[in-house]
Amino acid sequence: MLSYFSNPQRFDQLARALIPVFGVLAVLLLAVGVWLALLGSPPDYQQGETIRIMYVHVPAAYMAMALYAALAVASFVYFVWRHALADTAAEIIAPIGAVFTVLALFTGSLWGKPMWGTWWEWDARMTSVLVLLLVYLGYMALRAALEDTQQAARTGAVLAMAGIVNLVIVKFSVDWWSSLHQPASIIRLDGPTIHASQLWPLLVMILAYTCFAGWLVLYRLRSQAIRRRVRTLQRQREQAARAREEVVS
Amino acid sequence: MSAFGAIFSREAGLAWAGGGGPAGPAAFFLGAITLAPLAIGPAADLLVAVGPGIMGFAALLSVLQSADRLFGDDHADGTAELYLLSGLSLPWLVLAKVMGQALATLWPLPVIGLLGAMMYGVPVLPACVGALALLAAIPALSLIAGFAGALAAGVRRSGLLIALIATPMMVPVLIFAAGAGRSALAGDERALANLLLTVAVSLGTTALAPFGIVAALRSRLG
């Protein structure tokens, strides 16, 4: 299947079909999710209206981690099978993931002030998400520092795969170190512990964010592929022109 | 094993003779722990409380100080290519290299950590636990620094890049190593657990990092 989609033309067809689907889904789900989150769900019995920050914060944090996982998987695919498309995917996922990480940190900070009385606390979950941002930045800095594109691709893949260690730390930090941040309440063996009236808006928002991120990734992947194609065509045309000049002279 | 012994002693000799040996990291470590009280104020009880943490933190930074030399020099003069062509087992080879350099340059860190903690007013026993934790952390720290150094080998101003790549990966070691000293200071029973966890992270890194370093070197040489 991997080699099937590594054909740029097939990928282009697939992306062209999927981009509008993801785009429309993202808009619809965001509309429904925002309505549910802001108006259609009751305020929390303890946290009051501030619970609504959760509906933007949790999906952002989830995307920050999911995109890093996607980055690592894309890097693995590139590292093993050398598909250029996987590398391009890794390259464009990194900044998107970094932005979601910033969003998670920012909304978490806004939520922390009314709930815990502090904008920032050096607890395990918050600090490890900040570290995740550093990992994203390190990955981008390494790619930017290496001028040879193939070296940047391979070296970046090695780093992205090693960085997966941090993802494990982020995920389990709330279980390993008891801290201000609440433990996992949705993905649990014994089922979610949050009430259905809050679970539904949250799930819709998570789906909306996922579709939005999928749309962004595919869109940027396709434009990057087109850019590459243009560059190759330009180079071919220049070479052809040079060859013609040589024949004339 | 003699080839790896030769690489180990070459690396140790190079680091000792060519790169100033232990002077660089030691001086950095000393400078950092001298400046910290000037920055946070000389209140005695504050310094005792932050002592073990500052020692772990400053030791971590001083490991980064020599990280660009290990694979950067080999990348620049072509030795790295020869290693890849040599037919030796590469993970063992890079392990010997990193450990050779670590032995030559980082041995003063636990000593300075012990003395520094006592200068901050930490009692002898917690200071010793902290120094032991630093000793246990050195393999993990130097291998992670080596991994970042291999990724960034040959890049201009690689020091900045190495710091950005390596620090996130050093987080667990720092937590456990500094935690051992802090728990010992607080007198709770988690000191031994933290110390053992530091050893565990170091052993795990020793098992895994050489493969990462080899992959990084290969990717940089194409």
Chain B residue nearest residue A145, CA to CA: B155
Given CATH 1.20.120, say whether it is the number of domain A20-182+193-248. Answer: yes
A226 pLDDT band (50/70/90 cuts)? Answer: confident
CA distances to B46, B53, B104, B130, B180 from B199, in Å: 28, 18, 20, 13, 11
- d(Cα B80, Cα A245) in Å, to the nearest integer? 43
* Whole-number pLDDT of residue B128: 93
Could B222 and A169 be called an inter-chain contact, meaning their C-beta atoms sit closer than 8 Å? no
Torsion of CA A15, A20, A23, A29, to 10 degrees: -120
A8-45: pLDDT as tens digits: 778 888 888 899 999 999 999 999 988 888 887 777 76
Domain that holds residue B67: 3-221
**What share of chain A in percent tops pLDDT 70?**
89
Mean pLDDT of chain A: 85
Chain-centroid distance of CA A111 in Å reads: 22
* Whole-number pLDDT of residue A16: 87
Could A150 and B222 be called an inter-chain contact, meaning their C-beta atoms sit closer than 8 Å? yes
Residues of A in contact with B147 (CB under 8 A): 162
Domain residue ranges of chain A, discontinuous segments joined by + = 20-182+193-248
B76 pLDDT band (50/70/90 cuts)? Answer: confident
What is the average pLDDT across B153-175?
A: 88
B220 close to A (CB below 8 A): yes
- d(Cα B189, Cα B127) in Å, to the nearest integer? 15
- d(Cα A131, Cα A99) in Å, to the nearest integer? 14
CA distances to A242, B35, B209, B216 from A77, in Å: 38, 47, 20, 16
B196-218: pLDDT as tens digits: 999 999 999 999 999 999 999 98
Q: What is the amino acid identity at position B183?
A: S
Could B147 and A162 be called an inter-chain contact, meaning their C-beta atoms sit closer than 8 Å? yes
- d(Cα B150, Cα B212) in Å, to the nearest integer? 9
B171 close to A (CB below 8 A): yes
Residues of B in contact with A162 (CB under 8 A): 147, 169, 212
Question: What DSSP string runs through A90-103?
Answer: HHHHHHHHHHHHHH
Quote the number of domains for chain B. 1
Closest CA to B147 of A162, A140, A169, A150: A162
Q: Are A94 and A139 in contact (CB under 8 A)?
A: yes
Query: Testing the interface with A: which of B165, B174, B218 to mutate, by most A Cβ within 10 A?
Result: B165
Contacts of A247 (CB under 8 A, 6+ apart): none
Could A157 and B219 be called an inter-chain contact, meaning their C-beta atoms sit closer than 8 Å? yes
A140 close to B (CB below 8 A): no
Enumerate residues 106 to 165 of chain B having a beta carbon within 8 A of any beta carbon in chain A. 147, 151-152, 155-156, 158, 161, 164-165
